[in-house]
Amino acid sequence: MRKLALSEEILNTVEKPARYVGGELNSVMKDKEQVALRFAFCFPDVYDIGMGNLGLQILYDLFNRRPEVWCERVYSPWPDLDRIMRERQIPLFALESQDPIKEFDFLGITLQYEMCYTNVLQVLDLSGIPLLARERGEEDPLVIGGGPCTYNPEPIADFFDLFYIGEGEVVYDALFDLTIRLKQAGASRQEILKAAAGIEGIYVPSLYAPRYHADGTLAAFIPLCPEAPEKVRRVIVKDMDRAAYPENPLVPFVRPVQDRVTLEIMRGCIRGCRFCQAGMVYRPVRERSLERLMAIADHSLAGSGYDEISLSSLSSSDYSDIAPLVTGLMEKCSREHINISLPSLRIDAFSLDVMSKVQDVKKSSLTFAPEAGTQRLRNVINKGLTEEDIMRGAALAFHGGWTKVKFYFMLGLPTEEESDMKGIPELCQRVASLFFDEIPKEERKGKIQITASSSFFVPKPFTPFQWAKMEKKEEYLRRAHLVKDTFRAQVNARSMHYEYHDADVTVLEGVFARGDRRIGQVILRAYELGAIFDAWTERFDDARWQQAFQDCGVDPDFYTMRERPGEELFPWDFIDIGVSKAFMRREWERAMEGIVTPNCREQCSGCGAASYGCGICPGGGR
């Protein structure tokens, strides 16, 4: 029988005790005496959110294929358990062995969104690991960060011993080999870190020091020893068909956010939207073959027992074999009572035909993501979707029986004017009118319902908009209110619903996204003031953060309210993602002129990703 770290009394007290007991189908148990390296993989949010993460599933499977490595999982304890653990000094533990994290060789933390940063500190703190990397001793686990936020790791550099820059499948083997070898040879923590810095894709922040100009901008980023390379190159999977895929995915007992098999059909995106970090940092587009995907689908469904499968990619319609893939899956799934979920499909005749077969048309809604309200602004952001595309798709959908349509927009994009803001409700109105024009009264199967939601744009590193200025919270709210008021004034206002995201969080995300090492103290201070689970709206308290900025003497406006000059050195410039800064600057300039750049399939724009020699790039193969 597995032991449990928490007493029965505690488990009977806390909300959803299943979050802390492990034992799920396909979770991996090993004998800790028989392994050479123990890795605690942490998703710094509550179990229900983190459980289904595909990156975690891939690496959990990959690491555990090595007999001498045991990878276990850990999530953020919810505040109810957090309080009990602090009161009774119960150390944070991994789900599988239920052993304290402090006993592990590695604590790997996946950083999926900036608002989890205080949860990183919570996890370290509850584990009994010093929050600052420089205060850790020989016995502490090596704390390594990975995931999307590592494309600017500087705001959290003080808390990590290493970062993994790139796709997880590539160099963890080398890192584990090196660690096992050096530990057995009795090497010190510092020696291991210096050696690890030599592995492509591994960044050891303590081996670098930033220098600043008098105006606060970065002057230089200096490697402190010969082992630290000047540039850290992102590592990527070159052949997706040969990359490992979890055919026995973990299946939680409690219903997670993602209660299905995820089928990652490709990585990267041909589109090159100028606001989108994923569209840049996952270049070039690399597809899995149809044969491999069908085999993965078979194995993962059989190995997990899930009754739903979902396609995953940044833009599934751009997958070369999308039609045979979807048709093949539909045949398999209707035979075996399995549901298919098809997010991120462009609305056209093919996708509507497929969707009418796999879901209830009356209940489901169709989603468009124009991101901006006018064609002018869509050209600025290089969003390929035109008004004609939207109208044609919507007309097809209305004839197919759909009456619910969702739209996603962003406010605060560079060059945004009042006409662009008003363009959002006006576009929605034209779609509503289209419904009444296209569908005669007697054929209408329901009321048209349009839901539009907008988030506020946050400029991200490694995008053409990384130079952009943000706005103040008040200005964001003014724009949202203007959109709301314009919605109210539309003819079919009663068929339209508009909602917008929180503005407080936006500004903070902006600081974290393009912050430097001086932001670390602010995060630490906010944590001391009680901030955790900031990604949860009801737990987020902006006052705490304002206090933290003040206490640390850091001005958030420095990070958000400047349009950065073209020549400015960015804190993340030491990372080489393959896509050049010159390309992104060119894209910024084209954006300012409203010029659209063709997608990767139409024409190569010479972004630099071809240096990886794979995928869609000229000479890349596929």
Partner 1 sequence: MIIRVKFGKEGALRFIGHLDVLRTFQKIFRRADIPMAYSQGFSPHPIMSFALPLGLGLSSEGEYLDAEIVWPEEPGEGDSCPPPDAGEGAPVPEPVPEPVPELVEGLVEGTGGGDSCPPPEAGEGGPPPKAVVGGGDLLSALRAATSPDLPIYAVRRLPEKAGNAMASVGRAAYRLEIRPEWTGELKEAAQALMARESILIQKETKSKTVEMDLRPCIHKLEVNQGDSPPHLILHLSAGSKANIKPELVWELLNAGYGERKPLSLRRLDLMLEDGTSLGAIGEEL
Q: Strands (DSSP E) along 27-149, which ranges? A: 37-43, 69-75, 106-110, 142-146
Chain CA centroid to CA 425, Å:
29
Q: Least distance to partner 1 from the beta carbon of 606, Å?
A: 48
Contacts (CB under 8 A) with partner 1, residues 236-265: 251, 253-255
* b/e burial code for range 508-527 (CB count within 10 A of at least 16 → b): bbbbbbbbbbbbbbbbbbbb
Smallest CA-to-CA distance from 535 within 498, 576, 511, 502 is with 502
**H helices then E strands: how many in the chain?**
20, 19
Cα–Cα distance measured from residue 26 to residue 305, given in angstroms and rounded to the nearest whole number:
11
**Identity of the residue, 13 or 453, whose beta carbon is nearer to partner 1 in the bound complex:** 13
Among 230, 239, 336, 563, binds partner 1 (CB under 8 A): 336
**Of the candidates 303, 400, 401, 594, which one interacts with partner 1 according to CB under 8 A?**
303
134 interacts with partner 1 by CB under 8 A: no
Beta strands (DSSP E) in 182-307 are: 202-203, 208-212, 218-223, 232-233, 261-264, 266-267, 286-287
Closest CA to 19 of 63, 103, 80: 80
Distance between CA atoms of residues 357 and 351, nearest Å: 10
Which range, of 2-10, 30-38, 163-171, 474-482, touches partner 1 by CB under 8 A?
2-10
CB nearer to partner 1: pick between 248 and 455: 248
Rule CB under 8 A: say whether 97 interacts with partner 1: no
| Residue 603 found at the interface with partner 1 (CB under 8 A) | no
Which residue's CB is nearer to partner 1, number 130 or number 401?
401
Scan residues 343-402 and list those touching partner 1 (CB under 8 A). Answer: 360
- Which part of the chain contacts partner 1 (CB under 8 A), choosing from 67-75, 239-247, 304-312, 613-621? 304-312
Q: Considering the complex, what minimum distance in angstroms separates the CB of residue 18 from partner 1?
A: 5
Amino acid at 290: L
Kindly state the number of chain residues that form the binding site for partner 1, as judged by CB under 8 A.
29
Q: For residues 43 and 47, what is the distance between their CA atoms, to the nearest angstrom?
A: 8
Residues 21-80 that bind partner 1 (CB under 8 A): 21-25, 27
Site for partner 1 (CB under 8 A): which residue of 159, 306, 476, 570? 306
* Residue 17 binds to partner 1 (criterion: CB under 8 A): yes
Radius of gyration of the CA atoms of the chain, in A:
25
- The closest alpha carbon to 287, from 310, 264, 311, 255, belongs to 264
**Which among 3-11, 82-90, 343-351, 505-513 is the span making contact with partner 1, rule CB under 8 A?**
3-11
Candidates 137, 215, 335, 441: give the one binding partner 1 (CB under 8 A). Answer: 335
Q: Round to whole Å and give the CA distance between 297 and 309.
A: 8
Which one of the spans 164-172, 175-183, 298-306, 491-499 is the region binding partner 1 (CB under 8 A)?
298-306
CB of 250 to partner 1, least distance (A): 11
Q: Is 305 in the site for partner 1 (CB under 8 A)?
A: yes
Binding site for partner 1 (CB under 8 A): 1-2, 4, 8, 11-12, 17-18, 21-25, 27, 251, 253-255, 301-307, 335-337, 360
